[in-house]
Amino acid sequence: MTTGSLVLEPGQFEPPAGQITFLYLPAQDLFVRRAARLRQLANGHALGGYLQFLASLADTQQTALQRLPAPVLPAPDEQRLCRQHGMPLLSATTWPREPVWHEALSAILRQMSQIDLPVAAQETIRSLARQTPAYLERQAGLMLMEEWEELQPNEAPFIGAALQVYWLRLASALDAQTVGRLEPSGRCPVCGSRPVAGMVRGDGLRYLSCSLCSCQWHLVRVTCSSCRSTQGINLHTLHGADDPVRAESCDACNSYLKLLYLEKEGLLDPIADDLATLALDMLLEHEGFLNAGSNLLFHPGRGPE
């Protein structure tokens, strides 16, 4: 056997076995699993009624998702351009939404109207079903621009649910290889939205879960998702240090994001477990921290200003 040069050329060096996958596209049965987790959490919970409602909403999201036609994605040239310049391909704020998301909303409202719900919820469903496309577009725009003060808290979960279905359908048609990293890394590389929460998987890697398109992207642990600080990172829990849901706060920018430890509980779902631990948000808000995450299925209420 003849050997050439013993000096390794670029590309010859094998990457270590545990190469980190940067992006996971959403699974097609995400809403089914979310509904199951919500029902599990609702039992005996202080917000049980709301979690039960969200479980039904997640069921309707799954049905609406299956009815959506195949999406039209940006041309390969545009995809390459976005990657080159670190821009989100399906930007929440600039992507031209197709009217099919209204169909998703109609399907969600139609199914929700058949469920036994309080009068206030039934009225919201009826009034949303009668709204003009222009009104719905305006509400969607406000939600995606994070103008929470302008949104109706009772309508937001339905609008958010329909937008999630539409964006999940778009994102799941992508090729994960075409998506590049985004700066700042606290935003979704696919649509530029905020995460709901971080998921710390069994292998110890942390992925942030998008509030809109449900993609999960890698972010190095013990790093603030908002300002990238690696100092002054604290974890806050409700039931002791071993809790599967922890809020990771940053002393440098005073923000926090929840982390869900899948090693402690395999069924954790970012949206469901975020809303099942609102007590954690309230206590952190009391300590002066701001939530760096976002959950489209819950509007905390409009402030007095």
Residues that bind another protein (CB under 8 A): 16-18, 20, 46-50, 53, 117-121, 124, 146-149, 152-154, 156-157, 184, 187, 203-205, 220-222, 230, 233-241, 243, 248, 278-287, 290-295, 297-304
Report the nearest approach of another protein to the CB of residue 103 (Å).
23
Closest contact distance (angstroms) between CB of 41 and another protein is: 13
Q: Please give the structure tokens belonging to residue 138.
A: 């305006």
- Nearer residue to another protein within complex by CB, 169 or 206: 206
- Closer CB to another protein, 20 or 267, in the complex: 20
Q: Please, which residue, 145 or 267, has the CB nearer to another protein? A: 145
Q: Give whichever of 75 and 241 is closer to another protein, judged by the CB atom.
A: 241
- d(Cα 249, Cα 253) in Å, to the nearest integer? 9
Q: Which is nearer to another protein, 147 or 175 (CB)?
A: 147
Distances (CA, A) of 296 to 19, 120, 166, 200, 282: 32, 19, 13, 22, 18
Rounded to a whole number of angstroms, the minimum distance from the CB of residue 284 to another protein is 8
Overall residue count recorded for the chain in this entry: 305
Q: Report the nearest approach of another protein to the CB of residue 293 (Å).
A: 7
**Residue 196 Cβ, how far from another protein at the closest point, in Å?**
10
115 three-state secondary structure: coil
The type of residue at 200 is V
For residue 8, what are the contacts with CB-CB under 8 A and spacing of at least 6?
none
DSSP state of 3: -
**Distant-in-sequence, close-in-space partners of 210: CB < 8 Å, separation ≥ 6:** 171, 188, 190, 191, 193, 195, 196, 216, 217
